[in-house]
Structure formats: structure tokens, C-alpha cells
């Protein structure tokens, strides 16, 4: 499987000529959802879900479909009947040859005064890749490649390190990194790499790819 990192939290997965896109939001490239056979969206925040970009992808390919939680599905389903699927924790499905399991229910706490919204993570192809969205969800399944949210209003580096230790992936690639300055990146690389329990911590520039 080919993994391509897009800006912020968006990831493209390609396998057997099919493409799955996770979290094409407003911090990612404008065309990031185009060409996707499958679009998975973890939650409604604009840096993970840009409605215009998802609609453009669905209009460009009448066979493309979306799997997401209810709050996002309600914004798309009427315009694309039968192509927008609502999922939640514990669900499993197959889309364009990708096997997907859904893990998690709530967004991480930003502040106690801010109501929590729903958030799901997606485990692809039996744990080959796990994208948690905006939560530090630990799936009840081994994870080979963890997409690791490194910088957000709802986390700090000690929590990121402990999350890697708990999931115990073989490798971890940074996501949710648009807020992380170039000056700070070496600090995160060093500390996560040294304290992450032996996981191979890596960072891909937007547009760069790796085989997973």
C-alpha cells in the first residue's frame, strides 16, 4: 500500500489501483479529495472536513463514496443519495477493496467548557494504518502504521509520547502538524523518537509518499 501525506491531517492510501482519502480538510490541498474512490472523515471540524472539497470529489466521480459519522453525513447525504454512509464505533465495512474498522466515539477534550463532539478513528486493512482523527484512541487491534496527531489545541507532547507507547505501532507518521513550526519540529522528532517506546517515528513532507 502506498501512503501519501497531504498537508495537516489528510492522508491518501493507494492499493491495487484504488484510492482512499482520509480527512480532506481546509488545511490540506484544495484538490486533495479528487480522484478518491473512498473518502473517510473522522469528524466535522473544518481542518478535517471541507464540505466543498468533498462535494467536488463526489461530483467528479459518480462512483466515489463517503464513510463518516452522523454529523458529517447529514451535510452530504441528501445531495448524494446512497453514496454517504454513517458509521460508528465497532462498525466494519469494505470499500474499494479496503477493509476498515471504526474505533472511538468522542473528540479529545479541548477545554472543559467546550462541549465534546463525536470523532471516530479508522483502522485500515487489519491494522496496516490507523488514523485516529482528533482523539488519542487506542484500538483493540495491533497497529503497524499509526498516523500520529502531534500538535493540536487538545494535546501536549507528553500525551503524544504516551499515546505512541500505548498503541505500540511499528512506525508512526506525523499528522495534525500544520500548527507545528519548522523551528519546533526537531524537538518533536527527537523527543518522540527517543521516548516513544521503540516505534520508528517518521515525518513526511506534504506530497511525500512511503510504502506501508
Residue 156 is part of a domain; what is its CATH number?
3.60.15.10
Domain assignment of residue 208, yes or no? no
Ranges under pLDDT 50 in the chain: none
What per-residue confidence (pLDDT) applies to 74?
A: 97
- Domain that includes residue 191, residue range: 2-203
What local confidence, expressed as pLDDT, does residue 71 receive?
97
Q: Is residue 77, in this structure, part of any structural domain at all? A: yes
Q: What pLDDT, on the 0 to 100 scale, is given for residue 181?
A: 93
Task: Count CB neighbours of 52 within 10 A.
Answer: 10
pTM as predicted: 0.97
Contact 16, 125 (CB under 8 A): no
Q: Residue 192: inside a domain, yes or no?
A: yes
Cα torsion through 172, 123, 157, 171, rounded to 10: -10
- Please tell me the total count of domains within the chain: 1
pLDDT score of 176: 98
- Residue 76 inside a domain? The answer is yes
Asked if the structure places residue 52 within a domain, the reply is: yes
pLDDT value at residue 105: 97
Amino acid at each position: 500500500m502506498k501512503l501519501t501525506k497531504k498537508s495537516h491531517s489528510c492522508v491518501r492510501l493507494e492499493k491495487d489501483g484504488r484510492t482512499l482519502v482520509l480527512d480532506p480538510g481546509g488545511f490540506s490541498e484544495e484538490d486533495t479529495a479528487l480522484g478518491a474512490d473512498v473518502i473517510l472523515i473522522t469528524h466535522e471540524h473544518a481542518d478535517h472536513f471541507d464540505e466543498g472539497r468533498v462535494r467536488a470529489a463526489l461530483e467528479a466521480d459518480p462512483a466515489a463514496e463517503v464513510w463518516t459519522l452522523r454529523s458529517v453525513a447529514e451535510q452530504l447525504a441528501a445531495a448524494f443519495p446512497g453514496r454517504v454512509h454513517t458509521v460508528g464505533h465497532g462498525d466494519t465495512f469494505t470499500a474499494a477493496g479496503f477493509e476498515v474498522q471504526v474505533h472511538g466515539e468522542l473528540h479529545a477534550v479541548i477545554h472543559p467548557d467546550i462541549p465534546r463532539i463525536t470523532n471516530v478513528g479508522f483502522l485500515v486493512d487489519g491494522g496496516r494504518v490507523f488514523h485516529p482523527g482528533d482523539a488519542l484512541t487506542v484500538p483493540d487491534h495491533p497497529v503497524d502504521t499509526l498516523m500520529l496527531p502531534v500538535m493540536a489545541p487538545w494535546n501536549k507532547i507528553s500525551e503524544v509520547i504516551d499515546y505512541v507507547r500505548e498503541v505500540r505501532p511499528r512506525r508512526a507518521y506525523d499528522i495534525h502538524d500544520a500548527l507545528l513550526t519548522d523551528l519546533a519540529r526537531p524537538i518533536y522528532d527527537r523527543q518522540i523518537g527517543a521516548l516513544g517506546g521503540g516505534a520508528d517515528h517518521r515525518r513526511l513532507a506534504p506530497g511525500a509518499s512511503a510504502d506501508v
